[in-house]
Every structure is written in C-alpha cells, then in structure tokens.
Chains A and B, each alone.
Chain A
Amino acid sequence: DAGVTQSPTHLIKTRGQQVTLRCSPKSGHDTVSWYQQALGQGPQFIFQYYEEEERQRGNFPDRFSGHQFPNYSSELNVNALLLGDSALYLCASSWDRGSETQYFGPGTRLLVL
C-alpha cells in the first residue's frame, strides 16, 4: 500500500520565481492538505482540498495556490517566491469520512536564494 508521495524531494529557486510541488495521496484517501514547516518550527497549515475545491485555508497569502485533480492528487503553487518561503513543504492526506487523522508524505525541501 503506497503511502503519500511528493515530488520533487528538493528544489532550489531564486526570488521572484514560481514553483509547483506535487502530491499523491495515500490509496483510498480523497482529501489533501498542505503544510509549510520552517526550520525549527512545527508545520503550519496552508490549505486543504476536497472534491477538487479548496475547503479551508490557513493564514497564507494569495501567492500560495493549489489544485486537486480528479484522481485526488494535488499541486501547490507558490508565485513570486520570497527568501522566507524557504521551508519543508509537507502534504498530508486523509479520508473525508474519517478525517481526524492525516498521513504525511516525506516533504519537498524548497530553498529560495
């Protein structure tokens, strides 16, 4: 049973560029959430997708956007990158009917220079 997968594992970008991160949920899961984990911090919720719609959003600017596809996979897009966007980006999946537990992927480490 494949768990949550994310790609790429690492990414280096420069300020002002745009980036797209990808996530495939755990088999049987239909809900995808994205988190930003800065160095030395706990994960911070960015947004959650269910039925191809953004269902909830955390305190992140509009530069952060996402998408969910019919196969439940998801993308996180960040525009106009800032140095402060450097972080580990985690994707988590869950099943809407039992959604209190989220299962995390290995993350994508983004470095903005």
Chain B
Amino acid sequence: DSGVTQTPKHLITATGQRVTLRCSPRSGDLSVYWYQQSLDQGLQFLIQYYNGEERAKGNILERFSAQQFPDLHSELNLSSLELGDSALYFCASSVMTDSYEQYFGPGTRLTVT
C-alpha cells in the first residue's frame, strides 16, 4: 500500500458526460501528479500540483482540468467525455516538487460508453 488513495475505483459513464476523479496523497506529500494509462499509449503525464499550485503540464486536453485543495487532496475533472478517454487514471504523490520518487495510487478505471 503506497499510502495514496484514489476514488472511485471504477467509473462507467456515457460520451459527453463529465466526471471527477479524486486523489488523496500520502501524509506529508505536497506534490500530486496525474497520469493517464491507456492500452496503446502507456503512462502519460497529465499535470502536477505542488501545495495548491499548478507546477507542470503534460499532455492534458483542454477538456480536462485539475486542482489541489488546501488539505492537499486533488481532483481531476474530465468533461465532454469521448470513447478515447477510456483509460486508467493514476495519481501519484511526492514530498517535494522535484522529488525523484513518486508514490502511485491504485488508479481509477474510467470506461466511456
């Protein structure tokens, strides 16, 4: 158990809908990262927050957004969902903004039908 929690574990929704994925980092970790893992793409970095502020952006679509709250938990919002958004979404956390070691949560499996 990495200490990172993610909810929900599974999510099934229809195209065009909006969903929110939640992540609680390890106790004491200030940095949260979001990744998308699809069958044909592997792990793709989406976005990083550190102590409430956005620090780095990767291949994140404009339909996706995230935020980190004062209690350090983070939410990833996915809107106008498309079939191709079906994937595993992982959250990871680390102590510092540039920590080499990231701890991953168990992921949320999103299925868009």
**A and B interact physically:** no
> Which residues of B pack against A, CB within 8 Å?
none
> Which residues of A pack against B, CB within 8 Å?
none
